[in-house]
Amino acid sequence: MEFRRFKAEEESPKDAVQITHGPMLGRLSADGIGIWARTSRPARFHVIYGMSPDRLDQRSGSVATALAHDNTGVVQLQGLAADTTYFYRLVTEDGGEFAGGSFKTLPDPDVLRDPQFNPRGLFNFKFEFACGNNQNPADGLGPSLPTYDTLLAKVKGDVNFAILNGDWLYEETRGDSPEQWRQQLGIATRQTPRVVSIAPTITGVWENYKTYLQRARNLAEWHRHVPSYYTFDDHEILNDVFGTGTAGYRNQRAVFRDVAVQAWFDYLGWSNPVRYRQPIHFGRGTFEAGGDILIDPDADFSRLDFNQMGNLHVHWGTPDAGVKDIPSGDIEGGDPNAGVYDVVEVLDNHRLRIRPAARANGAASYSIGRRSYGSFSVGNCDFYLLDTRSHRQLHDLKRPDKPGLSILGKHQTRWLMDEMKSSDADFHFVVSSVNLMVPHVGGGGAQFDAELKDDAWTAFLDERETLIEFWDSLGKPVFVLTGDLHNSFVVKITERVWEFASGPHNSVNHRPEDQGNCPTNGRFQYGPRACQIRWSTTALPDIPRRNRMFPHYCVVQVNNVFNAPIERGATRWVAFPHPHVVFQYYDGLTGELKYAETILAHIEEE
What are the pLDDT digits (tens) for 165-207?
999 999 999 999 999 999 999 999 999 999 999 999 999 999 9
What integer pLDDT is reported at residue 6 of this predicted model? 31
Distance between CA atoms of residues 384 and 482, nearest Å: 12
The pTM (predicted TM-score) of the whole model is: 0.96
Question: End-to-end distance of the chain based on CA atoms, in angstroms?
Answer: 58
261, amino acid identity: V
What integer pLDDT is reported at residue 328 of this predicted model? 86
Q: Are strands 362-370 and 427-431 parallel, antiparallel or unpaired?
A: unpaired
Edge-to-edge strands, sheet with 522-525: 374-378, 381-385, 427-431, 478-482, 497-501, 489-492, 530-536, 522-525
- Profile the chain (606 residues) by mean pLDDT over runs of 10 residues: 34 79 98 98 98 97 98 98 98 96 98 97 98 96 98 98 98 97 97 98 98 98 98 97 98 98 98 96 98 98 96 98 91 96 98 98 98 98 98 97 97 98 98 98 84 96 98 98 98 98 97 96 97 96 95 98 96 97 98 98 69
**CA-CA distances (angstroms) from residue 49 to 38, 53, 79, 550?**
19, 8, 12, 39
Residues 386, 408: contact at Cβ < 8 Å? Answer: yes
What are the pLDDT digits (tens) for 208-261?
999 999 999 999 999 999 999 999 999 999 999 999 999 999 999 999 999 999
Task: Tell the CATH topology of 7-106.
Answer: Immunoglobulin-like (2.60.40)
**343 φ/ψ angles, rounded to the nearest 5 degrees:** -90, 115
Distance between CA atoms of residues 29 and 104, nearest Å: 9
Omega before 504 cis (within 30°)? yes
281, amino acid identity: H
**CA-CA distances (angstroms) from residue 104 to 86, 291, 309, 481, 534?**
6, 57, 35, 24, 34
What integer pLDDT is reported at residue 527 of this predicted model? 95
On the 0-12 / 13-18 / 19+ scale of CB atoms within 10 A, 78 is: exposed
**CA-CA distances (angstroms) from residue 101 to 72, 92, 229, 231?**
18, 16, 18, 24
Residues 463, 407: contact at Cβ < 8 Å? Answer: yes
Task: Tell the CATH topology of 125-168+268-275+372-605.
Answer: Purple Acid Phosphatase; chain A, domain 2 (3.60.21)
Interacting residues of 363 by C-beta distance below 8 A, sequence separation 6+: 284, 285, 286, 287
**235 φ/ψ angles, rounded to the nearest 5 degrees:** -70, -25
What integer pLDDT is reported at residue 444 of this predicted model? 83
